[in-house]
Amino acid sequence: MATKQRPFHLVVFGASGFTGQFVTEELQQVLERAAEKLGRPTLPSEVGIIICDISNPASLDEMAKQATVVLNCVGPYRFYGEPVVKACIENGTSCIDISGEPQFLELMYWKYHEKAAEKGVYIIGSSGFDSIPADMGVIYTRNKMNGTLTSVESFLTIQSGPEGLCIHDGTWKSAVYGLGNQSHLKKLRKEANLKPVPIVGPKLKRRWPGSYCKELNSYSIPFLGADVSVVKRTQRYLHENLEQSPVQYAAYVTVGGITSVIKLMFAGLFFLFFVKFGIGRQLLIKFPWLFSFGYFSKQGPTQKQMDATSFTMTFFGQGYSQGFDPDNNKPNIRICTQVKGPEAGYVATPIAMVQAALTLLNDASDLPKAGGVFTPGAAFSRTKLIDRLNKRGIEFSVISSSEV
């Protein structure tokens, strides 16, 4: 990473936005606790403000020149992310974002990885709830298995209080545009023409929508976020660059009983139909509360809703003990791990983003030797990020491990 001294170690881009405010608050809390431990005066309530605009490249350059790491909170990233990435690379500044948009994340890799490497800076996407719990959760599971991990299924469960849960419509917009432009992502991957990553052990079978998970006593549907894309990219990097055995991965979200499955499947089909058409996307974006059945709104969640909401991501992995041949045998080790944390969008995401930024600053010797565009797992697999997250309330633990 570039070591040139800058006026600011960390700059939150989009600090006045809905998510940016929570990231700024989390950063201030972390810095104040650090100051207390060092016996220094409490940090002032005011923070430095840099005025810049996505449509003004010169202003982005001025911001990047003053920072060591930019925390980019402005989405949808397909519209607003690339100018920030470009400005950071050109000015020798690392950048972290919380994008859950596979098309943007993968496009940034293909366009800017070599340029970032030349500059020695780190561009790390999906460093919020999308997709640090999943990506680092798979790495944690691999590290805790006494053998070779070959496949993992994750199940996300969201717990909410009496007032239910709500998500800001910025996330809704990203989903609408992302699913509405799936053809662009398919084209990008086809043009990349990557050779397949080797499959170790039996191929992981995908579950049908509405399948039952007996371990969690709940039905589940495929998780349509960025986790699968991010984890696969991480596993490719670890295999090709660190010669680690690749892990197959599938992601699901639990939905409770069969009635919930039926409702969600109808809602999903309705949503997928609307995003195919321009007028449908306009309606979805204009009336998020109506079309999401109240789960998304322009106001976002209340403080009471956030306080009463949490998440649990459960990982079921299987693999082989040392010396056991995967070519001629079935997996003989199973492991179950969990990542638990507070409300995902506006509590866990700021925690993950800030801790990722601090890891980037403090664990430089454990990062990939050259800069580039990375997933969280590719960048942080050898760092102390998981330890930092555990201390801040995003907890990684082993539930069970057994040899079959």
Query: Can you tell me the distance from the alpha carbon of 356 to that of 349, in angstroms, rounded to the nearest whole number?
Result: 10
**DSSP labels for 8-57?**
EEEEEETTTSHHHHHHHHHHHHHHHHHHHHTTPPPPPS-------BTTBH
Q: SS3 for 398?
A: strand
Please name which of 82, 46, 52, 77 lies closest in space to residue 64, comparing C-alpha atoms. Answer: 52
- Show pLDDT as tens, one digit a residue, over the chain (404 residues): 544 577 788 999 998 888 999 999 999 888 888 777 777 666 555 467 888 999 999 999 999 999 999 999 998 999 999 999 999 999 999 999 999 999 999 999 999 999 999 999 999 999 999 999 999 999 999 999 999 999 999 999 999 999 888 888 888 888 888 888 888 999 999 999 899 999 999 999 999 988 999 999 999 999 988 999 999 999 999 999 999 999 999 999 999 888 888 888 888 888 888 888 889 999 999 998 888 878 888 889 999 999 999 999 999 999 999 888 888 889 999 999 999 999 999 999 999 999 999 999 999 999 999 999 999 999 999 999 999 999 999 999 999 988 76
Characterize 361-377 residue by residue with b for buried, 16 or more Cβ atoms within 10 angstroms of its Cβ, and e for exposed: eebeeebbeebbbbbbb
Beta bridge partners of 53: 56
Q: What is the SS3 string spanning 349-367? A: HHHHHHHHHHHHHHCHHHC
What pTM does this model have?
0.93
**Domains assigned to the chain:** 132-344+393-403 (3.30.360)
Query: Can you tell me the distance from the alpha carbon of 83 to that of 246, in angstroms, rounded to the nearest whole number?
Result: 33
